[in-house]
């Protein structure tokens, strides 16, 4: 008998996409699936849309974040396997069956994560297309062992979830890497393209860049010993070089025109470190789009590095304040 899979969908103001998400679950080739949408105090009718699409809907009384929503759904779920899916992702039909097969084949596998396809679900403009391609080529197209956890589409056994414990509800932007760090202490985590979906991406820099800044800032401020910050070292270094180039931009004003070569060289080094991404995008979409992609990508890297820098300063300041505080019983 096939184990029941509970697809848990945290949802906040996703009325535009949640029906597509629920219907994609109901179209899975795997026969034993329930879908539980946890409405995180939406004010756009998301809960009603999800119910009309055929989901069981739970409602949180106040907006509590995706970690708390996943915990609520997992507590209600009846399945032997939990499949966490974001409400703005439409799942490809064989994904649940592939996730179950992976989990049943290896008892050391704590979670199996999927990939997002290089296109946007509904939104179609430069920013949405950039984000879809950037996420796919930069880090989500890889298959095999993972250092973190990607909860947009991720499956794990319910007994493993109970063993590791719930997501930390106090973390709004870093609950997934924190959970992945705990999980990796006991189990393997892998990614496979057999589990896949299409994500609806942000359409404006005004929306995208503040999210990038907040997540990078929170990740740097809340990073714990042993956690990986920012992913591959080359990506972290490339983003840092873009930030350094921005800081070096005024140099010609004080050091003369020749100093303009400094920020140019720093940007060139950042582009070289990420050359594979630029090349793949240009090959698939053409050079004109590749140039527009590059412009948005450099803004993304600058924003990410700035957020990480602020978060790092905050973390170091907290550490210094903690070390400086008076100790109980200390002599003067």
Q: Above 90 in pLDDT, residue 78? A: yes
Structural domain includes residue 315: yes
DSSP-derived letter for residue 45 is: S
CATH number at residue 154: 3.90.550.10
pLDDT band at 232 (very low <50, low <70, confident <90, very high): low
Percent of the chain with pLDDT over 90: 79
Query: What digits encode the pLDDT tens for the residues 255-286?
Result: 999 999 999 999 999 999 989 899 999 999 99
Q: Above 70 in pLDDT, residue 245? A: yes
Provide the 10 A C-beta neighbour count for residue 66: 23
Q: Which range has the worst mean pLDDT, 45-49, 66-70, 141-145?
A: 141-145
Q: Which of 186, 201, 216 is the last residue of a domain?
A: 201
88 shares its domain with 188? yes
59 shares its domain with 163? yes
Query: What digits encode the pLDDT tens for the residues 216-227?
Result: 998 888 766 655
Radius of gyration of the chain (CA): 22
Query: What digits encode the pLDDT tens for the residues 146-155?
Result: 877 889 999 9
Rounded Cα distance, 291 and 233, in Å: 24
Structural domain includes residue 310: yes
Rounded Cα distance, 68 and 77, in Å: 14
pLDDT band at 325 (very low <50, low <70, confident <90, very high): confident
Q: Above 80 in pLDDT, residue 233? A: no
CB 305 within 8 Å of CB 287: no
pLDDT band at 239 (very low <50, low <70, confident <90, very high): very high
65 shares its domain with 106? yes
Structural domain includes residue 43: yes
CB 16 within 8 Å of CB 75: no
pLDDT band at 196 (very low <50, low <70, confident <90, very high): very high
Structural domain includes residue 329: no
Structural domain includes residue 99: yes
CB 129 within 8 Å of CB 120: yes
Q: What is the mean pLDDT of residues 159-165?
A: 97
Boundaries of domain holding 284: 233-324
Q: Above 60 in pLDDT, residue 209? A: yes
Q: Does residue 32 sit in helix, strand or coil?
A: coil
169 shares its domain with 290? no
14 shares its domain with 143? yes
96 shares its domain with 176? yes
Kind of pairing, strands 5-11 and 33-39? parallel
- CA angle (299 as vertex; 293, 305 as ends), nearest 5: 130
Structural domain includes residue 209: no
Kind of pairing, strands 33-39 and 56-59? parallel
What pLDDT score does 228 carry? 52
Rounded Cα distance, 277 and 272, in Å: 10
What pLDDT score does 123 carry? 86
What pLDDT score does 318 carry? 87
Residue labelled with tokens 């997540």: 215
- Domain count along the chain: 2
Q: Which of 179, 201, 223 is the last residue of a domain?
A: 201
178 shares its domain with 62? yes
Q: Above 90 in pLDDT, residue 156? A: yes
Q: What is the mean pLDDT of residues 158-182?
A: 93
pLDDT band at 328 (very low <50, low <70, confident <90, very high): low
Q: Above 80 in pLDDT, residue 231? A: no
Q: Does residue 323 sit in helix, strand or coil?
A: helix
Percent of the chain with pLDDT over 70: 94
186 shares its domain with 310? no
Rounded Cα distance, 222 and 275, in Å: 30
Q: Above 50 in pLDDT, residue 332? A: no
pLDDT band at 137 (very low <50, low <70, confident <90, very high): confident
What pLDDT score does 251 carry? 93
Mean per-residue pLDDT over the chain, rounded: 92
Structural domain includes residue 218: no
Query: What digits encode the pLDDT tens for the residues 108-128?
Result: 999 999 999 999 999 889 999
């Amino acid at each position: 008998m096939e184990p029941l899979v509970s697809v848990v969908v945290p949802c906040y103001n996703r009325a535009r996409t949640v029906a597509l998400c629920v219907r994609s679950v109901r179209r899975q080739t795997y026969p034993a699936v329930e879908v539980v949408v946890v409405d995180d105090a939406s004010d756009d009718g998301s809960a009603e849309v999800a119910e009309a699409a055929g989901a069981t809907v739970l409602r949180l009384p106040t907006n509590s974040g995706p970690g708390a929503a996943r915990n609520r759904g997992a507590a209600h779920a009846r399945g032997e396997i939990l499949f966490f899916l974001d409400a703005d992702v439409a799942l490809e039909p064989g994904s649940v069956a592939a996730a179950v097969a992976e989990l049943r084949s290896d008892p050391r596998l704590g979670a199996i994560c999927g990939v997002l396809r290089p296109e946007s679900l509904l939104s179609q403009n430069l920013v949405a297309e950039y984000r879809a391609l950037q996420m796919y080529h930069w880090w989500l197209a890889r298959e095999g062992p993972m250092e973190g956890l990607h909860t947009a589409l991720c499956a794990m056994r319910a007994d493993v979830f109970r063993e590791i414990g719930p997501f930390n509800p106090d973390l709004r932007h870093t609950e997934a890497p924190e959970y992945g760090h705990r999980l990796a202490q006991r189990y393997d985590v892998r990614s496979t393209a057999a589990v896949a979906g299409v994500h609806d991406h942000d359409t404006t820099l005004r929306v995208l860049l503040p999210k990038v800044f907040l997540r990078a800032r929170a990740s740097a401020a809340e990073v714990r010993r042993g956690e990986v910050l920012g992913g591959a070292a080359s990506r972290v270094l490339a983003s840092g070089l873009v930030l350094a180039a921005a800081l070096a931009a005024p140099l010609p004003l004080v050091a003369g025109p020749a100093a303009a070569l400094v920020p140019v060289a720093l940007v060139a080094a950042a582009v070289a470190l990420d050359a594979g991404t630029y090349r793949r995008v240009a090959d698939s979409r053409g050079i004109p789009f590749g140039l527009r992609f590059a412009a948005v990508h450099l803004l993304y890297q600058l924003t990410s590095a700035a957020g990480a820098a602020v978060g790092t300063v905050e973390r170091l300041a907290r550490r210094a304040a903690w070390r400086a505080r008076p100790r109980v019983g200390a002599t003067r």
